[in-house]
Amino acid sequence: MFNLQTLFSNPLSFLVGLIALAVSIGVHEFSHVLSAYLQGDRTGQALGRLTLNPIKHLDPWGTVAIIFAGIGWGKPAPFNPYNLKNPKWGSALVAIAGPISNVIVVAITGYTLLLVGPHLAAGNLLLVFLQTMVILNAALAVFNLIPIVPLDGSYLLRAFLGPNNALVVTLERYGFIIVLALVLLGGSILSLYISGGVNLIFRILGLGRLL
């Protein structure tokens, strides 16, 4: 998709991969802001984040991390939980909107790939774009559902167990360290989790032929 090896061996494919990455992150973060907006919070809109323009949502260091390490981040979607209509579930709805949007993108690009893919030659840039979008968005959805701060799944866990639950408090206190350790030291475990989740999404959507 997009890594330094691709940059030197196939610069056009590398560029297409970066475009797919920017679009995917943009859709994910926009969906967070849109969910907050629909629930009554205007924080993201006021900061210019209620847009599909990916430039508004990219974090420079997070993008570099994805290229070099395979895992990175976008700019966190700003919202004020106290402005949301539902105090308990509002933040969880904002959080889940990101992964849901990625699954929707998987469905759209996946079915498009099944339709036009057989008519495109290997290495065709449209084919590369669609393939990258399908895999990348599925991986983004699965990774962000891990229930550890600062990932989206942590808001779901908080909503279900409550903010004072011992597990929630611990994960919020040490979440960043746990995620960092998981990425740096638990690569094989993380890889198995993501690949399993991606396979599950594909099969649920009827895209098993793309595996």
Output the six-digit token pair for 153. 């799944």
Read off the amino acid at residue 141.
Answer: A
Which listed residue (2, 29, 37, 171) is catalytic? 29
Q: Could you count the other beta carbons within 10 Å of the beta carbon of residue 195?
A: 14
Task: Name the DSSP letter for residue 83.
Answer: G
Q: Which two tokens stand for residue 63?
A: 């993008």
Question: Could you give the residue ranges of the DSSP H alpha helices within the chain?
Answer: 4-9, 11-38, 43-46, 60-69, 90-116, 125-144, 153-161, 166-185, 187-204
210: CB partners within 8 A, 6+ apart: 110, 113, 114, 134, 202
Total number of residues shown for the chain: 211
29 given a catalytic annotation: yes
Q: Tokens 């995917």 — which residue?
A: 24
Q: Which residues are catalytic?
A: 29
